[in-house]
Every structure is written in C-alpha cells, then in structure tokens.
A and B are shown apart, each in its own frame.
Chain A
C-alpha cells in the first residue's frame, strides 16, 4: 500500500523512518520548500573565500543555485542565480571577482549590482519611440531574489525565511562554542574537492551524525593497529536535535585493539605497520583536549577538525538521489609552508580519497540502492536507546544524533510527510 507522496501508511518516527523518504520526488519537493527554503539557515561558504570587494562564489541552498558576493562596500550578499527576466543563470562561473560589483545576464544584458538589485535594462524606453517597457515598469520590482545573510565566525549562512530566528539562535550555544574553537583565528582556503553521490542527501546527513559506524565501516585505523575506541569521546546536540557535534579527546597512552577484534564481524587480519606515519601526525594547535571534532549543522554543512585537517563539507541536493558534497579545506592564515605541507599530508585521511572516510560515499549509495521500492518499510535506529539526548558519552555505541536529525527534520516537515488520505491503487 503506497500513498500519493510515495510513503507507506505508518508515520515515520526518529527511530523508524520510511525508506520512501530517500526516493519520493514529492518528499524531495516538500523538503526544498519546508527545509531548504523554510525556517533554516543554509551554509553558503566561508568569508575567507571572498575576501575582497567584488569576490564571488557560486553556491546552493538545497537545489537552488545561489551566488555569494562581497559588495564594493565589503558587505556579504547572496541572491538566487536566476535572472528576473527569463530565469537564465546570471553568474556562470564557480568563482571570481567582479571588479565593478555588477553582474550582467548574457541573454538580454539585464544588469544587477552586488546586492542583486536590478540596475540596468537595455532599451528600457525602446528606441525612437518603438518598443521598450511601459511607464509603469519599475526596476525595483525586478531584482534577483535576495537571501537574508548572516555570518558566524567567518561561516556565512543564508535563508529564504523571514521568520527563522537569527543565525546565532538557530545554531545555539553548544554549536557556537565548537565553531569558535575551529575559527579561533583567521583561516585561509587550501582548496576544494567535489564528490557526487548517487544517493539522497539525508543518507549523508545521517552518516555524519552516526557514531556507530565509525570504527566498523572505516577500517583504516584498526588495520594499522591504531584503533582508538577507548578514548574519551562525546556527542552533543543542539536543542532542535538536528545539529550535532562529536568530539574525541587527544590520544592518551594505550590503544585498545583487542576488544575491537572480538566484536567486529568483518575479518580483521591483524595489524600491519604503516610505512610512513607522517600522514597521521597530529600537532595540537587549539588550546583544548580535543583531537577530533565533527560537527553537523542542519541542513547543509559539516564542519570538521580531524588531526590537522580543517574543512567544511557542504551538502548540495541536486535531486532525490543526486547529492554533491563540496569539501572546502582550510588552514590558518598564519600557517607557514611546512605547516601547510603537514596539512596536505593529513588530508590523505579525509575527503573523497580519505583513508578514514572514503567509505561514507559508498555507504550512502548502498543505502540508496538497497531501499529501492521499499516505501512503507522502515529503518531501525535504536542503537543506544530510543530517545534523543542532549549529551551522549562516550559516543560510538549509539545513534543518538541520528535520532536527533530525524526529530528535527520531522518537526520541520510536519504535515508535508503526513500520509495522504487518498490511497494510490497499488
């Protein structure tokens, strides 16, 4: 039995979500409306990516193409990359600098300023009394669709909602505290990696909040005898449930390889030696006890510090089963050449080729493939309980933050996920 929105008859819960949510075009459309264009703040980029007036960067909110621009006055703006005339893409580059701060649509040369306000229309009055727009044409009514933009510690967010609380409130004190630690001093961008997964964006959002899979899917550490489950760790959630941060303390002393071998079901072949341990080296550089920090900010970004890798991972939803993950790697502005090289070595651990992370892309696709035609069937998310707690420690044996994601998501989606009363003839 399937309903009009591609879901089964039983409502989803944070512990049991209908697999149809990964496949239904109706749900995807509702998410664009309720989540991405709804009462949330979406990550747009780093201020460090657009340091100078006129600098711009193409970005997205959900599936919607957006451009992030620093105006000539230094203010950061964002607008939908869709000409108010015919809907054409206005800005056609991934990034660059528009020295005069103006963006001109190539199709009919409608010109916009950095804020997205229409400032020029060719032949607006026609030519020699012929053509042109009527007297009542007001350019002010034909600007690009502008987003509300706010930044926190150099992370820029945008929203279509006039109702959502200010960014700092949306993030909440716990999330802000951890953003503060990464952005403790000015950063510089080291580059990008873009990864395209044939899977639904929520599968990746769950993955980044799933502490249970860490040491089971990603076998690099145990393979090389550097399993670290015994370290101090914790998961903390924001009030809404959908933002989460995992932290693991810096390694202290003994590793616990033996207990892992007893529990894991995949065959462990015993530790082999790394030939070159420099890629694992960790140089503490933030004045606290944390060696790993993975922070998922709903709906569209993960902020991380793993060893000395610093990165944002932006989630772009191109389609119900088309998700792009844009890694923006950065270091601190005062890094010397040696420190940059060290970060580049550490970067082997993360990203699309990451020795400890590449599996995530595969996990997303496996779940997408495995749930085809499974609407009305439900996943099972009860590791470590069936509730959503603000704090869970140690983390690794629980799915608390995954339940937190669904709790916040289901609240936002509200009636959009409610099963229609009209049954589709199966």
Chain B
C-alpha cells in the first residue's frame, strides 16, 4: 500500500463514477472523451490473462477506434435492447510515477433486457493507467479483465 493523496483518490473515483454513468445513461458519444488520443482500451477474459494469452473481445488502441465502436453501435450493429448499470468500487491507487497514475477497481455491470429481468452481465476489474491532461483526469489505458467468461449472447456496449 502506498500513501494515497486524497485529492488523487477523489479524481480517480470521480472519473470512474462519471464513466459508468455516461455508459449507463446511454451517452455513448461521451465515452471516447474519457481517454487520451493515444489510448488502449481492451476487454479481455480473465482466463486469457491468467494464462498469458493476449486475445481480447475488444481491443482499441486509438481513440479513433473507440469512436468507430460507438458509430458502429449506433448505426450498424444489432444487439438485444438493454440497459446497463455499472457498479464500480472505490479505486485502489497502485502507483504514481510523475504524471502517470496506475489504479485498479472492481466492477459489476448489470444488464436489463426487454424481458425486464436484471442479470449480472459482466463482473471483473479495471486495470488503469491515467494522466492529468488539461486539468482533467484521463485514461491512457483501461483493461477490463472479466471473470464472467460466458458472455450472454454478445457484448456490444463497452464495459
């Protein structure tokens, strides 16, 4: 455990709260703005991470790819109508190196489809690298390592 600057802790937790709410409220177009331009976002099964295997179900290594994901979701992709609900734990700051902060947080994404039942859709943890850019905390990389390695139907909306 490193001594945690409460301001930094608050910044990371606030970013996570805003991130989850923007996805859950359906404001997908805001989602890429949580990242720096030269970013990495991936959603990867824990079974792969534990076995040193790199394949991810989403692997976006530029902000442009995040934007493309959102445009595809809005205009091209077909998936069950649903609401998402992110429950994100308080982050644990795992390192501070100059401008760069590393942190991890647990998450659970609940999903509600048209049948009205709310299911635990995806549980896992975020492994993040962040920097402060123009006064705002931004994600340099976010790796969503999911325990729920049986994806229900498909995974369309970012985690």
Return the 3 tightest CB-CB contacts between A and B, nearest first.
Answer: A191-B55, A275-B64, A276-B64
Give the Cβ gap from A139 to chain B, nearest Cβ, in Å.
34
* B64 CB contacts on chain A under 8 angstroms: 274-276
Total interface residues in chain A, CB < 8 Å: 44
Q: How far is the CA of A189 from the CA of B48 in the complex (A)?
A: 10
Q: How far is the CA of A365 from the CA of B151 in the complex (A)?
A: 14
A194 sits at the interface (CB 8 A):
yes
With A269-B75, A351-B57 already in contact, the answer to whether A365 and B155 are too (CB < 8 A) is: no
Nearest B residue to A343 via CB reads B55
A365 and B80: CB pair below 8 A? yes
Give the Cβ gap from A260 to chain B, nearest Cβ, in Å.
13
Q: How far is the CA of A332 from the CA of B152 in the complex (A)?
A: 30
* B57 CB contacts on chain A under 8 angstroms: 193, 347, 351-353
* B156 CB contacts on chain A under 8 angstroms: 353, 358
Please tell me which one of the listed residues A94, A195, A340 contacts residue B151 in the complex, with CB atoms under 8 A apart.
A195
B1 sits at the interface (CB 8 A):
no
Please tell me which one of the listed residues B48, B59, B63, B149 contacts residue A345 in the complex, with CB atoms under 8 A apart.
B59
* A365 CB contacts on chain B under 8 angstroms: 80, 153
Q: List 14 A-B contacts (CB under 8 A).
A: A189-B53, A192-B45, A193-B151, A194-B45, A196-B153, A198-B153, A220-B77, A223-B72, A274-B64, A341-B61, A344-B54, A352-B57, A353-B154, A359-B78
Cβ-Cβ contact count across A and B, 8 Å cutoff: 132
A interface majority secondary structure = mixed
B137 sits at the interface (CB 8 A):
no
B62 and A362: CB pair below 8 A? no
B150 and A220: CB pair below 8 A? no
A329 and B155: CB pair below 8 A? no
With A274-B68, A276-B64 already in contact, the answer to whether A352 and B154 are too (CB < 8 A) is: yes
Nearest A residue to B49 via CB reads A191
Q: How far is the CA of A206 from the CA of B119 in the complex (A)?
A: 28
Nearest A residue to B79 via CB reads A362
A359 and B75: CB pair below 8 A? no
Q: Given contact pairs A224-B72, A344-B56, A344-B59, enumerate 14 new A-B contacts (beta carbons under 8 Å).
A: A191-B45, A194-B151, A197-B153, A220-B76, A223-B72, A269-B75, A275-B63, A275-B68, A276-B64, A276-B65, A329-B55, A353-B58, A355-B69, A363-B78
A191 and B75: CB pair below 8 A? no
With A324-B150, A345-B59 already in contact, the answer to whether A358 and B48 are too (CB < 8 A) is: no
With A274-B68, A276-B68 already in contact, the answer to whether A191 and B48 are too (CB < 8 A) is: yes
Which A residues between 193 and 233 are near B, CB-CB below 8 angstroms?
Answer: 193-198, 217-220, 222-224
Q: How far is the CA of A345 from the CA of B43 in the complex (A)?
A: 12
A353 and B155: CB pair below 8 A? yes
B97 sits at the interface (CB 8 A):
no
Give the Cβ gap from B33 to chain A, nearest Cβ, in Å.
14
Q: B8-35 interface mask toward A, CB cutoff 8 Å, 1 = contact, 0 = none?
A: 0000000000000000000000000000
A348 sits at the interface (CB 8 A):
yes
Give the Cβ gap from A51 to chain B, nearest Cβ, in Å.
13
B48 and A192: CB pair below 8 A? yes
Give the Cβ gap from A55 to chain B, nearest Cβ, in Å.
12
B92 sits at the interface (CB 8 A):
no
* B152 CB contacts on chain A under 8 angstroms: 196
A95 sits at the interface (CB 8 A):
yes
Nearest B residue to A350 via CB reads B57
* A191 CB contacts on chain B under 8 angstroms: 44-45, 48, 51, 53-56
B96 sits at the interface (CB 8 A):
no
Q: B39-52 interface mask toward A, CB cutoff 8 Å, 1 = contact, 0 = none?
A: 00001110110010
A347 and B68: CB pair below 8 A? no
Which A residues between 33 and 47 are near B, CB-CB below 8 angstroms?
Answer: none
* A348 CB contacts on chain B under 8 angstroms: 58-60, 65, 69
B105 sits at the interface (CB 8 A):
no
A361 sits at the interface (CB 8 A):
yes
Q: How far is the CA of A193 from the CA of B55 in the complex (A)?
A: 8
